[in-house]
Amino acid sequence: MADPGAPAGRDGPLTWGQRDIWRAVLAAAPQERYLNIARVFAAPKRPVTVERAALALERLVARHESLRTRLTGPRDAPLQRVWPVACPPYEVVESGRAGSEPVGPGPVDSGAVGSGVVGSETVGSGAVGSLLAEEVGERLAAEPFAYWEEWPLRVAFVVAGGYVRHIVLVLCHLAADGHAAELVVKDFRLLLLRDSLPPLRSATPRELAAWQHSPEGRRVSGEAIGFWLEEYARMDPVPPSSHVPGEPRFVEATMRSPALAAATQEVAARNRVSSSTVLLAGAMRLAGRLTGQRFCGMRVIVNNRFAAARRDVVSTISQEALVVLDLRTESFDALVRQAWGTALRAYRQAQYDPYAMEEAVTRAGPGIRSFGCFNDQRLVQEDGQAAALEGKTEVARTDAMDRNICDFRLHVGGEPGRMEVSCYADTALLPPPGIEQYLLDLEGLIVEAART
């Protein structure tokens, strides 16, 4: 669905998903680095030179227009501009060259092209190289993007023995959501092995934005807004925060739990639902205990790639769905089954203009709000493959910041068999010990449900 006749450098509106992210950027700036998406992966076993990796990068950026896009226009109402050519700078992080001087930055244009090697460090190979590749990823993701001047992709090639061993990608969230980041990694892997890939058949970000601003797009947005207002009307009020906020204001804790991974799969298999549904039901059960609500609402991130034309879109098209549950159920299993059907209906209403949504909710009256956000970022859940309920649980504080658009969010990730759940909360809502306890309570709730 490409538009080969489109003039180069044409400005256009942001997609609804990009508008959502831009609202988050403005709310958290200048600490919006948490929105950056880092991916580190091993190069193919066949020898890959830096030159071949750089060529694959060039072809990757040519393939996906979101990687050739920068913002333009005013900060309070930006547009996006797609360039015909873009060559993001990349770093070479090389082993065996202790004390080497960094290579100067390659030419970065004032409009369409930037390329070159921008640095060199010393790393090891094998497991050590993998570990340090992760450290390079953390460094590259540690600063917000310069949205008007910088390409939305930072790259490093970790080299040992003359060949690239690991690739580090950091994506700006305006260019990709979590699913799109995995598509970029898949394409990069394939381009390291092949000279080309089949043509894309998915819609481009510009085509999606054009549809969203069409009469049909506005109709879809209006229906979603109507659904949300009806669901908000069902919710009990959320009481105001009762704690004195700390400094920094927002704190994140992360729990790594084999027991939670196994228990979630057990409950999911018993109720014939996804493990994500079990976690959502548990998160909302605990939210209701904090707020005293019977009818509680939580926003859930939906990738919005159900249609074939959007399945492989590399852009930010994910948005939030509003899931409202009646928490007064006879059992946790009953709540899980309720969450399954309710969430499926809500997922169909997760495409809308966020500014129109905000205006409609504001008009509906004060005090209308849901409790936090739930985001299951796992692509592979391995549902139904429950393991023994054992293993050490680890909880640690992992981040803190002063500004954020959301007062509570729960992220699910990790590897199969070792689930990782992060809770990021306003300390006026939950002090840091309460954030850690929320995670442990989630584990306890679902582990107990698996045993009964």
* Interval 12-63: pLDDT, tens: 999 999 999 999 999 999 999 999 999 999 999 889 999 999 999 999 999 9
Number of residues that this document lists for the chain: 452
Q: Which residue has the higher pLDDT, 324 or 101?
A: 324
Mutual orientation of helices 215-234 and 205-212 as an angle, nearest 10°?
70
d(CA 264, CA 414): 14
Strand pairing of 153-160 and 163-171? antiparallel
Q: CB under 8 Å to 173, separation ≥6 — which residues?
A: 21, 24, 35, 36, 37, 316
Residue 98: which pLDDT band, with cuts at 50, 70 and 90? Answer: very low
Query: With a threshold of 0.85, does the pTM exceed it?
Result: yes
Return the pLDDT at 113.
Answer: 36
Q: Per mean pLDDT, which range of 166-175, 220-229, 324-333, 372-381 is the poorest?
A: 372-381
Return the pLDDT at 416.
Answer: 72
Residue 434 pLDDT more than 80? yes
* Residue 338 structure tokens: 């309720």
Q: What is the enclosing helix (H) or strand (E) of 445?
A: helix 432-451
Please list the residues that pair with 73 across neighbouring strands: none
Residue 124: which pLDDT band, with cuts at 50, 70 and 90? Answer: very low
Strand pairing of 11-12 and 79-82? antiparallel
161 in helix, strand or coil? coil
Return the pLDDT at 242.
Answer: 84
d(CA 359, CA 379): 33
Return the pLDDT at 196.
Answer: 86
Return the pLDDT at 5.
Answer: 42
Given a contact cutoff of 8 angstroms between Cβ atoms, the answer to whether 152 and 70 are in contact is yes
Residue 153: which pLDDT band, with cuts at 50, 70 and 90? Answer: very high
**Mean pLDDT (whole number) for 308-334:** 94
Residue 106: which pLDDT band, with cuts at 50, 70 and 90? Answer: very low
Q: Which residue has the higher pLDDT, 294 or 384?
A: 294
List, for residues 237-295, the tens digit of each pLDDT value. Answer: 888 888 999 999 999 999 999 999 999 999 999 999 999 999 999 999 999 999 999 99
Given a contact cutoff of 8 angstroms between Cβ atoms, the answer to whether 165 and 43 are in contact is yes
Residue 118 pLDDT more than 60? no
Residue 128 pLDDT more than 80? no
Return the pLDDT at 13.
Answer: 94
Amino acid at 329: T
Return the pLDDT at 131.
Answer: 85
One-letter-per-residue 3-state SS of 57-124: HHHHHHHCHHHHEEEECCCCCCEEEECCCCCCCEEEEECCCCCCCCCCCCCECCCCCECCECCCCCCC
d(CA 209, CA 315): 11
Given a contact cutoff of 8 angstroms between Cβ atoms, the answer to whether 177 and 19 are in contact is no
Residue 195: which pLDDT band, with cuts at 50, 70 and 90? Answer: confident
Chain mean pLDDT for the chain? 88
Closest by Cα among 123, 183, 181 to 156: 123
Residue 116: which pLDDT band, with cuts at 50, 70 and 90? Answer: low
Return the pLDDT at 99.
Answer: 32
Closest by Cα among 199, 369, 216, 381 to 297: 369
